[in-house]
């Protein structure tokens, strides 16, 4: 297979953009990635566009990518519209990667874009239903059946309680994820929230789904992120700061059994490490899916950054802070940078790219990391994430 290079990375600030269209946001991210790459737009041969919620919120289904790219020079190209709930962006990236790896194309765009804010808030809240099995909503934990707003927070809450019961993790430890990530977000001009929060502020914020409180949750947000991928031949012509995709894996959850020892996150991580030919100890920077704070702790365990049950202790050790041994979510993660669903997975890769090039300014990790990993997951089905995607970059 062809070696696949990250030629350009760009994103919008994640924010509330009631008066900007999906295409405005998507094209801003595209422009930023193009400027970063130095390549002309006419060289792009195909576009993979991830979006999860425009159908439910805006009524824009089916040809989301064509609409977003309408009026640009990319009109007429193959446009692939990819959905995979909160992992839509990384799944679009994965298919874009495959298209270069296969030798099909030399230069492609992976774009993630989302507008979650809507004047009618119920449109946003109810949109999350569509990322579950709508014929089996009764199987949702907590009060999900009646309140789409917090369905996914109910899932995080249930799994947090299980982790607390089984391993003695405390809610204060979980809250420290939000403390760390809000601090990182305070250093990131692209983050939706740029204010560091104290443990007290997190623990005293409004209860959303016991034990999950408001400041432990990723917010509603709008935004877009774009990556331009290219073959080795093209990279040699354009890039002096080459970063390439060492492995790209997408899997789905299986129906969870009570003695489940094989969570989808772990399966995906093992495969991603195997294909990249590395172990967890070689990773120098990680972006994970902290849809709510406990998600980051499970991610440590799924990724093998620590053993099962030790996620809370790894966090408390400080090693996942920006100045730690294995920084996680230096961007601020979903909690602080924000979570415009379809954009999230690609924004994670934008952050890895900047960190690995040494371009992350105030939040730059010392000694530019040589290996970066992005862990994106989404949807909920039969007790697990419906989709998991892990991408590993190397420089």
Binding site for its own copies (CB under 8 A): 1, 21, 23, 52-53, 55-56, 58-64, 66-67, 70-71, 75-85, 88, 91, 95, 98-99, 101-104, 127, 129-135, 249-255, 264, 267, 378-379, 381-382, 386-387
Tell me how far, at minimum, the Cβ of 114 lies from its own copies, in Å: 12
Taking the C-alpha atoms of residue 160 and residue 166, their distance in angstroms, rounded to an integer, is 10
Taking the C-alpha atoms of residue 163 and residue 312, their distance in angstroms, rounded to an integer, is 10
Distance of CA 200 to the CA centre of its chain: 27
3-state secondary structure of 299: helix
3-state secondary structure of 224: strand
Tell me how far, at minimum, the Cβ of 107 lies from its own copies, in Å: 16
Select 21 or 313, whichever has its Cβ closest to its own copies: 21
Select 59 or 189, whichever has its Cβ closest to its own copies: 59
Select 56 or 215, whichever has its Cβ closest to its own copies: 56
Tell me how far, at minimum, the Cβ of 194 lies from its own copies, in Å: 29
Tell me how far, at minimum, the Cβ of 346 lies from its own copies, in Å: 16
Select 61 or 274, whichever has its Cβ closest to its own copies: 61
Select 139 or 205, whichever has its Cβ closest to its own copies: 139
Select 67 or 373, whichever has its Cβ closest to its own copies: 67
Residue 86 appears among annotated catalytic residues: yes
Contact 327, 286 (CB under 8 A): yes
List the structure tokens of 17.
């953009």
Query: Which listed residue (163, 289, 302, 339) is catalytic?
Result: 339
3-state secondary structure of 192: coil
Taking the C-alpha atoms of residue 315 and residue 216, their distance in angstroms, rounded to an integer, is 15
Contact 373, 283 (CB under 8 A): yes
Residue 339 appears among annotated catalytic residues: yes
Tell me how far, at minimum, the Cβ of 44 lies from its own copies, in Å: 13
DSSP characters for 230-269? EEHHHHHHH-SS-EEEEEEEEEE-----TT----HHHHHH
List the structure tokens of 312.
């809370």
Select 137 or 278, whichever has its Cβ closest to its own copies: 137
Best CA proximity match to 321, nearest among 155, 196, 227: 196
Query: Which listed residue (86, 217, 230, 306) is catalytic?
Result: 86
- Vertex 235 angle, CA 229 and 238, to 5°: 110
List the structure tokens of 149.
């707003």
Using the structure block, give the residue that is written with the tokens 């946001």. 25
Sequence-distant (≥ 6) Cβ neighbours of residue 139 within 8 angstroms: 133, 382
Tell me how far, at minimum, the Cβ of 187 lies from its own copies, in Å: 32
Sequence-distant (≥ 6) Cβ neighbours of residue 321 within 8 angstroms: 180, 327
Tell me how far, at minimum, the Cβ of 277 lies from its own copies, in Å: 17
Q: Known catalytic residues?
A: 86, 339
């Amino acid at each position: 297979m062809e070696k696949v290079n990250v030629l350009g990375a760009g994103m919008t600030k994640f924010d509330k953009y009631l008066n900007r269209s999906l295409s405005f946001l998507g094209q801003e991210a595209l422009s930023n990635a193009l400027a970063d790459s130095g390549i002309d737009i006419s060289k792009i041969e195909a576009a993979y566009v991830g979006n999860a919620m425009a159908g439910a919120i805006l009524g824009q289904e089916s040809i989301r990518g064509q609409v977003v790219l309408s009026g640009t020079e990319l009109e007429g190209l193959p446009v692939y519209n990819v959905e995979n709930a909160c992992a839509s962006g990384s799944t679009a990236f994965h298919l874009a990667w495959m298209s270069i790896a296969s030798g099909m194309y030399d230069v492609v765009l992976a774009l993630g874009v989302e507008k979650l804010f809507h004047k009618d808030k119920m449109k946003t809240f109810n949109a999350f239903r569509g990322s579950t099995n709508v014929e089996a909503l009764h199987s949702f934990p907590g009060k999900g059946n009646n309140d789409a707003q917090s369905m996914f927070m109910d899932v995080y809450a249930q799994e947090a309680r299980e982790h607390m019961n089984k391993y003695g993790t405390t809610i204060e430890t979980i809250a420290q994820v939000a403390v760390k990530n809000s601090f990182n977000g305070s250093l990131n001009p692209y983050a939706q929230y740029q204010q560091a929060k104290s443990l007290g502020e997190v623990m005293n914020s409004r209860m959303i789904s016991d034990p999950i409180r408001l400041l432990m949750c990723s917010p509603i947000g709008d935004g877009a992120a774009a990556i331009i991928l290219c073959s080795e031949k093209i990279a040699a012509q354009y890039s002096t700061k080459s970063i390439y995709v060492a492995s790209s894996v997408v899997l789905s959850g299986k129906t969870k059994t009570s003695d489940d020892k094989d969570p989808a996150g772990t399966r995906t991580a093992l495969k991603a490490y195997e294909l990249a030919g590395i172990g967890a100890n070689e990773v120098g920077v990680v972006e994970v899916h902290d849809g709510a704070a406990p998600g980051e702790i499970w991610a440590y365990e799924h990724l093998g950054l620590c053993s099962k049950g030790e996620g809370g202790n790894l966090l408390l050790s400080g090693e996942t802070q920006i100045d730690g041994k294995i920084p996680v979510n230096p961007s601020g993660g979903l909690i602080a940078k924000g979570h415009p669903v379809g954009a999230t997975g690609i924004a994670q890769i934008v952050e890895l790219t900047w960190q690995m090039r040494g371009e992350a300014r105030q939040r730059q990790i010392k000694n530019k990391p040589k290996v970066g990993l992005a862990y994106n997951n989404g949807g909920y089905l039969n007790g697990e994430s419906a989709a998991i995607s892990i991408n590993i970059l190397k420089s």
